[in-house]
Amino acid sequence: MQITLNDIGRRFNRDWIFRGIDYTFNIGESYAILGNNGSGKSTLLAVLNGSLGPSKGTINYSVEGKDLDVEQLFQYLSLAAPYLELIEEFSLEEMIDFHFKFKTYKAGIDKAAIIELLSLPGSSNKLIRYFSSGMKQRLKLALAFCADTPILMLDEPTSNLDARGVEWYLNLVQQFAKDRLTIVCSNQEHEYSFCQHRLSITDYKG
* Nearest Cα residue to 128 out of 139, 118, 119, 117: 139
Summarised one tens digit per residue, pLDDT across range 8-43 is 999 998 899 999 999 999 999 999 999 988 889 999
Instruction: Report the CATH superfamily, name and number, of domain 2-204.
Output: P-loop containing nucleotide triphosphate hydrolases (3.40.50.300)
How far separated are the first and last CA of the chain, in Å rounded? 30
User: Under the phi-then-psi rule, with left for phi > 0, alpha for psi from -120 to 50, and beta for the rest, what region is 56?
Assistant: beta
Strands 66-68, 56-63: pairing is antiparallel
Each domain of the chain, given as residue ranges in start order, spans 2-204
Amino acid identity at 142: A
pTM: 0.94
Q: Taking the CA atoms of 23, 29, 33 and 34 in sequence, report the sign of the dihedral they define.
A: negative
Given this model, what pLDDT does residue 206 score? 63
Q: What are the pLDDT digits (tens) for 56-109? A: 999 999 998 899 998 899 999 999 998 899 999 999 999 999 999 999 999 999
User: Is the separation of the CB atoms in 91 and 126 below 8 Å?
Assistant: yes
